């Protein structure tokens, strides 16, 4: 029976929880009212240390605020906060690979206006949820083939599979989109987009790269004689990432981060948006093994004598023994000068003994 070493992935139990993030920053004008705000968290990478999983990423906070000033109008503020989550994970070691996902559980902000200098202090509080697990590659010895020099062997095979995760890759691309805003009235001005989202629909290989297509949606804030109003818009997007090669399956999540708008016509706007594309690659691996071996009768053939066979390029001792119906130990003993894998120029001597 031939035994071969196979590499498999051992996955430890997942750990979930939440991580608090508090960030303070200043605006150089007094804020009268926050009309809307939101936060998005993006994972960039994850790695294992000793008893810990470290997740790096960023949180993007977007607010639509009404300033308390003579200029009036509304202002869109965007703040990017670096994130580093250090999650306790007893099974983690630097030799392990980390699998992690982060998501926003809660978000709130408090604004304090300093009347003496006319500036505003913002304290943003986020609760970032996480789910992490660690994997490690292990080598196991399994039987993957069997034969006998005296009996006909019937082998029943089994198989098992597992997912081997790839490295998460983050790409940021700026795209320019156009959208129709039919609800705009004459004299209204588009100020900002808010609550934008990008839903990926397809991921296609294009040469050495990949193209991601989907739908971008947002709320468009405008101001005019009737005050401030918001209108929902949706438009397709397509973005290409060069030099992106992968094996197996790939999934992608897309997050709009920085957006600006300008009017093209009375009903059409151009949106410049930076898209963060988070790719996760997975490969399905299947391993076959010998589950059961049964005899299907005796072999008939040569019982004594010497034979010389021509080698086949690339053969190893096991495949050669099976092809010639000879014991691997006997072949190695009678052909001590052989070096595997064979080149195809060798001559193989086989000694048959009477049974």
Mention every residue, 6+ apart, whose C-beta is less than 8 A from residue 116.
none
Which residues is 273 bridged to in the sheet?
Answer: 175, 259
Share of the chain above pLDDT 90, in %: 42
* CA 239 distance to own-chain centroid: 18
Question: What confidence score (pLDDT) does residue 71 get?
Answer: 55
pLDDT at 200 over 90: yes
DSSP state of 204: E
Residue of higher predicted confidence among 322 and 226: 322
φ and ψ of 243, to 5 deg? 50, 55
Residues 130/87, Cβ–Cβ less than 8 Å: yes
pLDDT in tens, 75-113: 889 999 999 999 999 999 999 999 999 999 999 999 999
Mention every residue, 6+ apart, whose C-beta is less than 8 A from residue 47.
53, 54, 98
Residue of higher predicted confidence among 206 and 218: 218
Parts of the chain belonging to CATH 3.10.350.10: 301-352
pLDDT in tens, 4-54: 888 888 889 999 999 999 999 999 999 988 888 899 999 999 999 999 999
What average pLDDT does the segment 200-207 reach?
A: 90
pLDDT band with cut points at 50, 70 and 90 for residue 354: low
CA torsion angle for 183, 189, 192, 194 (degrees, to 10)?
-20
Question: What confidence score (pLDDT) does residue 212 get?
Answer: 95
Mention every residue, 6+ apart, whose C-beta is less than 8 A from residue 117.
none
Question: For every residue of 205-263, which 3-state class applies, written as one string?
Answer: EECCEEEEEEEEEEEEEEEECCEEEEEEEEEEEEEEECCCCCCCEEEEEEEEEEEEEEE
Domain range 301-352, CATH class = alpha beta
Q: Which residues of 158-186 are buried (b: 16+ CB within 10 A; e: fewer)?
A: eeeeeebbbebbbbeeebebebebeebee
**What is the Cα–Cα distance from 344 to 350, expressed in whole angstroms?**
16
What average pLDDT does the segment 330-345 reach?
A: 89
pLDDT at 318 over 70: yes
pLDDT in tens, 133-152: 999 988 888 888 888 888 88
């Amino acid at each position: 029976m031939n035994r071969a070493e196979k590499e498999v992935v051992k996955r430890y139990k997942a750990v979930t929880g939440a991580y608090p993030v508090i960030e303070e920053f200043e605006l150089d004008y007094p804020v009268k009212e926050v009309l809307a705000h939101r936060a998005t968290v993006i994972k960039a990478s994850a790695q294992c240390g000793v008893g810990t999983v470290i997740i790096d990423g960023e949180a993007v906070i977007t607010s639509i605020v009404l300033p308390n000033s003579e200029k009036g109008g509304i202002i869109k503020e965007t703040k990017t906060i670096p994130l580093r989550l250090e999650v306790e994970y007893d099974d983690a070691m630097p030799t392990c690979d980390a699998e992690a996902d982060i998501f926003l559980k809660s978000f709130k902000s408090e604004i304090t206006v300093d009347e003496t200098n006319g500036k505003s202090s913002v304290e943003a509080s986020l609760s970032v949820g996480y789910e992490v697990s660690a994997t490690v590659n292990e080598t196991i010895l399994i039987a993957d083939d069997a034969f006998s020099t005296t009996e006909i062997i019937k082998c029943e095979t089994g198989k098992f599979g597992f997912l081997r995760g790839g490295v998460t890759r983050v790409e940021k691309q700026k795209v320019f989109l156009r959208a129709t805003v039919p609800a705009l009235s004459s004299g209204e001005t588009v100020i900002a987009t808010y609550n934008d989202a990008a839903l990926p629909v397809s991921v296609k290989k294009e040469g050495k790269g990949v193209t991601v297509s989907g739908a971008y949606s947002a709320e468009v804030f405008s101001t005019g004689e009737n005050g401030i109003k918001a209108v929902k818009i949706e438009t397709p997007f397509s973005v290409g990432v060069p030099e992106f090669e992968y094996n197996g399956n790939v999934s992608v999540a897309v997050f709009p981060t920085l957006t600006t708008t300008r009017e093209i016509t009375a009903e059409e706007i151009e949106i410049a948006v930076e898209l963060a594309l988070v790719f996760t690659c997975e490969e399905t691996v299947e391993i076959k093994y010998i589950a059961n071996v049964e005899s299907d009768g005796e072999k008939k053939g040569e019982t004594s004598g010497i034979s010389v066979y021509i080698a086949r390029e690339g053969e190893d001792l096991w495949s050669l023994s099976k092809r010639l119906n000879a014991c691997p130990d006997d072949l190695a003993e009678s052909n001590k000068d052989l070096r595997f894998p064979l080149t195809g120029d060798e001559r193989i001597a086989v000694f048959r003994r009477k049974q």
